[in-house]
Amino acid sequence: MKLGIALGLGLLSSTVLAKELPNIPANCADDVAQVGYCSTVNAPTFRGPIEIQFFVVVEKASFPTVESVLGRYLSFDNWPAYAESTETDALLFNKSVRMADIKQDNETIFRHFYDYRLKSPIGYQNVRGVTFNSRVTPYAGALASLEFEAQNTGAQEVPAGEKLLVGSEGVKFQTGAVHAVSCAATNFCDDTQWLLVYETKLQPEIDLLPKVAATSIQAGIEALLVGMLFNDVAL
| Mean per-residue pLDDT, 89-107 | 95
Pick the residue with more confidence: 122 or 11? 122
**Confidence at residue 232, expressed as pLDDT on a 0 to 100 scale:** 85
- pLDDT for 68: 95
pLDDT in tens, 8-24: 333 333 444 548 999 99
Reduced to 3 states, what is the DSSP secondary structure of residue 21?
coil
Q: Which CATH architecture describes the domain 28-229?
A: 2-Layer Sandwich (3.30)
Q: Looking at the predicted structure, is the pLDDT value of residue 117 above 80?
A: yes
Mean pLDDT, the chain, integer: 90
What confidence score (pLDDT) does residue 235 get? 65
The mean pLDDT value for 225-229 works out to 96
The whole-number pLDDT of residue 8 equals 34
| Amino acid 96: pLDDT | 98
Residue 69 CB contacts under 8 Å (≥ 6 apart), including other chains:
58, 63, 180, 194, 196, 229
Instruction: Answer yes or no: are the C-beta atoms of 25 and 42 closer than 8 Å.
Output: no
Across 27-48, average pLDDT: 91
As a whole number, mean pLDDT of residues 158-167 equals: 96
Task: Quickly state the pLDDT bin for 211 (edges 50, 70, 90).
Answer: confident
Q: Where are the domains of the chain?
A: 28-229
Distance, in Å, from the CA atom of 148 to the CA atom of 29, rounded to the nearest integer, reads: 27
The full DSSP string for 66-97 is: HHHHHHHHH-GGGHHHHHHTTT-SSEEEEEEE
pTM of the shown model: 0.89
Q: Can you give the pLDDT at residue 26?
A: 87
State residue 6's pLDDT score.
Answer: 39
Q: Sign of the CA dihedral 29, 35, 36, 38?
A: negative
Q: Is the pLDDT of residue 208 over 80?
A: no
Residue 145 pLDDT: 97
